[in-house]
Structure 1
Amino acid sequence: MRKLLFPRWLGAAVLALTLAGCDAPREAVTIHEHSAVPDNLSDWHVVEAIDGKLVLNERVTPYDLNTALFTDYAHKLRTVWMPEGANAVYGEDDFDYPVGTVISKTFYYPLATDGSVLNTDDYSADFAGSGLNLKKVKLIETRLLVKRVDGWQALPYVWNEAQTDAVLEIAGDAKRLQLVSADGSSERFTYVVPDANQCAGCHADNHTQKAIRPIGPRARHLNKDYAYQDGTENQLLYWQQMGYLSGLPELAAVPRNVDYKDVAASLDERARSYLDINCGHCHNPSGAADTSGLMLYGAEHDMRRLGVCKPPVAAGTGSGDRLFAIVPGSPEASILNFRVESTDPGAMMPELGRSLAHKEGAELLKQWIASMPGSCKAG
């Protein structure tokens, strides 16, 4: 049996089965038919609450992204599992995942002593013993993407208050939370769990085909080192070594986004990576926002299509009475900044997936646009 590897940032967490002693054996990951999807997340046996910890099953492999989609400052535990003997085939923009693949993403927050949730980048206190310590976190939801013969199925599961299991909520859910930042400030907000159709809407990044596809686990997002328990390894190489990925070219030929927080990278690289993961699934030539003419996906290099001196297709509340998507040197006059900073449902971007503004992301885009030379003045 292959030894499970997990990252050092899990601390002492070794999310593997105990094969000796009196521990009961875990049931294997179970793929349920499309028409017989279970009400409880635990019936999949991918991630489960066991003895006060959220644990991963055998060959359920965690992964991370260079820059991740912002979701109201939630922490995320991402995993992938594929049937024995099956693998994804490398593609620069999309992997061809085998039927039976299960991708999970669990959204949660570190807990404060008073029951509020914390806004922090520190993952170290989330884990103890043999898994995610449920005494220190508040689980919100676990989203599954399951690869069927006819395509991907999106399934939102919402965790109960006891954190013993998550229940399928096709219609989504909403949770009132109080978020506390490191400086002691706090704000109340409503965390919105998307319904199944909204999940499909974001993941169907080709608006014509309307087929659901994974957004995060793509080459440019996965191409990074990950500190596994027995050593640091590039995630793509690790997937290849464990039999989850075939056709991987030399890493030098694989695209790579940067971490938007990495000040060693250029301001342009950081901003473009942030826009790619947060906006590119809609703002691409075949995405839901294709008619806007604003292309924010990673492969776009035409500055006009990126928004520089580009007027909106339709004015109104979404433009904030500003004239251009990006005004070089003037973030305060740019529609992009207005929409990213807004929490008005009629104006904010992205439209789904957040109730709060991402202060750090908004500040990055402000710096990026402020650094741009030129102007939008005629002549």
Structure 2
Amino acid sequence: MKKAAVLAAAALAFAGAMAVRATPPPINYVNDDAIMSDGMPRLLSEYGFFTDLGAQIPVPHVYPYRLNTPLYSDGADKLRFVYRAGGTQFRANGEGLIDMPVGTALIKTFAFEEAGERRLIETRVLLHRDSGWLALPYLWNDEQTEARLAIAGARLDLTTPKGEAISYRVPNKNQCKECHGLDGEVVPIGPKARNLSHDWLGEMVAAGHLDTVPRDADQFPVWEHRASADLTAAARAYLDVNCAHCHRPGAMASNSGLDLRWEQQSPEALGVGKRPVAAGRGAGGHLYDIVPGSPDSSILTYRMASPEPGIAMPELGKATVDEEGLNIVRRWIEEMAP
């Protein structure tokens, strides 16, 4: 009987060991050290943002989000995620913006459709460290299994969804500052409260990730619904998202005198009847940034309609003309009273 009991106990122990061994491994969580330390992780996988890197399936505490009006990037699809470190909380400030504490990471992956399948091109991460925000670009491999740090950037031959062959540029580390720079610091430019939905913000509040829904939230029209949106709102939102990160005080193109932020209400600051400071050949022989009622005489739309380097606006982040965005801005100028 004793021998039988020993054998039974051994069998139970073996079964228990097999059960433990058969239990799926725990879900990986974000590597906070990769975000907070002084180094620059060489591989995107080192952060632990995704349970399935290639499929872009995030781990818990990494939250997908979308912008009402997105930045145009040659028709690329963009997958956006935000992560906040444990013990911290996003806070709405008094300017309708969201303060993101140290330990926050913003992740944005650019993808194009090829032969009916999604191809991941690059992932940009914005890390909030004690020293400030750091922007890093990661280039995906051909196997779509990993993205590697691309300090020097890269050039790739791609075809846009409209069939345009382009030389796509992955920015180098320093070029990230050209769009994300403000008063000498690197800052986030995408997830503004006015460009995020009340539903998403409310979910973040309910989950305890955000203290309250910011005032003036969810003002930008949803881009897919622009045909039925207020024309001025659609045009102003487009200019805020695509142009205002440079054309605002303290930013890269502040010397132009243009301030294309949503909150700007001065017609002259928006370019109405304003002569350019130093547009050079970018003016195309036109005299004013915006001529009310005449988009064909306006420098703003002239530069938006050009793919030529030195004339095209925005200067970075695209190689083709955004016809839909240009059409919205043209119609807005057409309806301005001369």
TM-score (norm 1): 0.78
Which letter maps to 1:213?
A: V
Deviates more, 1:259-268 or 1:151-160: 259-268
**1:175 and 1:191 in contact (8 A); partners too:** yes
Counterparts of 2:314 and 2:334 in 1: how far apart (Å)?
21
Counterparts of 2:304 and 2:37 in 1: how far apart (Å)?
37
1:295 aligns with 2:297: no
2:84 maps to 82
1:238 aligns with 2:210: no
Which segments of structure 1 move beyond 6 Å, counting only runs of 4 or more?
A: none
Structure possessing the higher radius of gyration over alpha carbons: 2
SS of 1:196 mapped into structure 2: coil
Counterparts of 1:195 and 1:330 in 2: how far apart (Å)?
38
The structure where helix makes up a greater share of residues is 2
Which letter maps to 1:242?
A: A
1:144 aligns with 2:125: yes
Cα deviation, residue 68, structure 1: 0.9
Q: 1:98 aligns with which of 91, 94, 101?
A: 101
**2:28 and 2:51 in contact (8 A); partners too:** no
SS of 1:53 mapped into structure 2: coil
**2:65 and 2:81 in contact (8 A); partners too:** yes
**1:49 and 1:164 in contact (8 A); partners too:** no
Compute the RMSD of aligned alpha carbons. 1.9
Counterparts of 1:298 and 1:359 in 2: how far apart (Å)?
21
Q: 1:39 aligns with which of 42, 60, 64?
A: 42
CA separation of 1:36 and 1:236: change in aligned 2, threshold 3 A: same
Corresponding residue pairs, total: 314
**1:139 and 1:163 in contact (8 A); partners too:** yes
1:153 aligns with 2:130: no
CA separation of 1:277 and 1:60: change in aligned 2, threshold 3 A: same
CA separation of 1:203 and 1:81: change in aligned 2, threshold 3 A: same
Cα deviation, residue 26, structure 1: 3.1
1:258 maps to 221
TM-score (norm 2): 0.88
Q: Which runs of 5+ in 2 are unaligned?
A: 1-21
Counterparts of residues 1-379 of structure 1 (less than 5 Å): 23-31=24-32, 32=34, 33-47=36-50, 49=52, 53-91=55-93, 92-113=95-116, 136-181=117-162, 186-204=163-181, 206=182, 209-222=183-196, 224-225=197-198, 234-248=199-213, 253-254=216-217, 256-260=219-223, 261-374=225-338
1:14 maps to none
1:35-70 deviations in whole A, cap 9, x for unaligned?
3222110010113645x6332111210011111111
Higher relative contact order (CA 8 A, sep 6+): 1
**1:179 and 1:187 in contact (8 A); partners too:** yes
2:9 maps to none
Counterparts of 1:48 and 1:269 in 2: how far apart (Å)?
38
CA separation of 1:93 and 1:174: change in aligned 2, threshold 3 A: farther
Deviates more, 1:92-101 or 1:53-62: 92-101
Question: What is the identity percentage for the equivalent residue pairs of Structure 1 and Structure 2?
Answer: 40
